[in-house]
Amino acid sequence: MIEHLYIHIPFCRKKCPYCNFISYADKENLIEEYVTALTLSSQSSDFPLPLGEGLRVRAKTIYFGGGTPSLLTPNQLKTILSPIPYILTPEISLETNPATADFEKLHEFRKLGVNRLSIGAQSFNNRHLKTLGRIHSAKDIHKIFDDARKAGFENIGIDLMYALPGQTFEEFKKDIQEILRLDPEHISLYNLEVEKNSAFGSRLTALGLRFPDNDTEADMFEHAIESFAKAGYKHYEISNFAKKDCECFHNLAYWLNKNYLGIGVGAHSHVDGRRFSNTESVEKYIGCGCATGIDRRKQVDVSSPASRETIFMGLRLLDGIPKDKFQGFEKEVEELKQQGLLEETSTNIKLTKKGLFLANLVFEKFV
Ligand code: SF4
């Protein structure tokens, strides 16, 4: 049963130098053809799981990710949604870049059924936004947030980054104050990781911009956790915080290793233990449609209920996952418990507070 649908929009106005997502800055002229290809993909009877009767009543979440889905016009969004029986879908999310949507567009998106907006803010400090190569300013973030509220969005998420090159603890505290002043329903917080030897890493070195050290980075994370908790957010996943009942239910499906279907360039799917992903080429996707765009070589068998993937995805959740998922991994769990990184509740195994800060050490055991 498919309850979660992901639609990838791989276009951006400009490629951010740290970005590893499948997104292209010089292909906006292909959006219209891409929209048609997406529509055909979801209608194709060759598609492994055509969107049919089953999905009509069962789609619980649809997520437009990117790339920059807010580059779509309302008409293009309408076209993509047209073959999908989505009216009863409780959560339809769309990622936005603050410089690519205004009140009119957001109002149209809302009227089409999008009810959750995810704003890629990353920082409220213009100097850091510039270093990150973002196309928007702090003012744009405030503007899109106000526009979104006026357009009727009652569920808004904001993405923030920390441990930025040259960022001080005080600057990060200001970012936290700014985000709390906006009072979104959801916050995602990621640390910036850049390979030293990458082009971006070398550029930062040449500019004399150093990353905060490990202790400062941990202090930033801890400060965010405490500030968000005080403001009433539940820390439900390592990088995610939500007001009551405002968790991102689409992303929860990933962490709980549920079935989901990905449409579009580079989109991944997980269906009954089978994993597959689509071609990363926009041209190929447009040219051949989704049915033949699926790269079957990437299939991975994860049918075991005790799969390592189920464990390390599930351990990202602060509540952890049921103990029976760890069958066959008793030795690893015992070791991690002794190191103070995992703990047991009556039903689950989860990260300790120490484990939260050293999660990669935990995940390594299950990769
Ligand atoms: S806007 Fe987002 S998806 Fe596009 S290049 Fe920047 S980080 Fe990547």
Whole-Å CA distances, 186 to 18, 41, 328: 23, 31, 36
For the chain, which domains are there?
4-255 (3.80.30.20), 308-364 (no CATH)
Task: Give the model's pLDDT for residue 197.
Answer: 86
Q: pLDDT tens across 244-283, in order?
A: 999 999 999 999 999 888 889 999 888 877 788 888 999 9
Q: pLDDT tens across 197-251, in order?
A: 899 999 999 999 999 999 999 999 999 999 999 999 999 999 999 999 999 999 9
Q: Which helix (H) or strand (E) is 32 found in, with range?
A: helix 31-43
**Cβ distance 98 to 120 under 8 Å?**
yes
**pLDDT confidence tier of residue 68, bands split at 50, 70 and 90:** very high
CA of 258 to the centre of ligand 1 (A): 26
Which distant-in-sequence residues (6+ apart) come within 8 Å of 231 by Cβ?
Answer: 180, 183
CA of 298 to the centre of ligand 1 (A): 24
User: Does residue 66 line the site of ligand 1, with CB under 6 A?
Assistant: yes
**pLDDT confidence tier of residue 55, bands split at 50, 70 and 90:** very low
Ligand 1 atom closest to the Cα of residue 66 is 3
Q: pLDDT tens across 134-148, in order?
A: 999 999 999 999 999
Q: pLDDT tens across 321-339, in order?
A: 999 999 989 999 999 999 9
CA of 325 to the centre of ligand 1 (A): 35
- CA atoms of 157 and 211, how far apart (whole Å): 26
User: Does residue 314 line the site of ligand 1, with CB under 6 A?
Assistant: no
User: Does residue 68 line the site of ligand 1, with CB under 6 A?
Assistant: yes
pLDDT for residue 177 is more than 50: yes
Residue nearest atom 5 in ligand 1 by C-alpha distance: 15
Residue 157 main-chain phi, psi, to 5 deg: -110, 150
Residue nearest atom 8 in ligand 1 by C-alpha distance: 19
CA of 291 to the centre of ligand 1 (A): 27
Ligand 1 atom closest to the Cα of residue 95 is 2
Residue nearest atom 7 in ligand 1 by C-alpha distance: 19
Specify the pTM. 0.93
How much of the chain, in percent, has pLDDT values that exceed 90?
75
User: 237: which strand partners?
Assistant: 240, 317
CA dihedral 220, 223, 229, 230 (to 10 degrees): -150
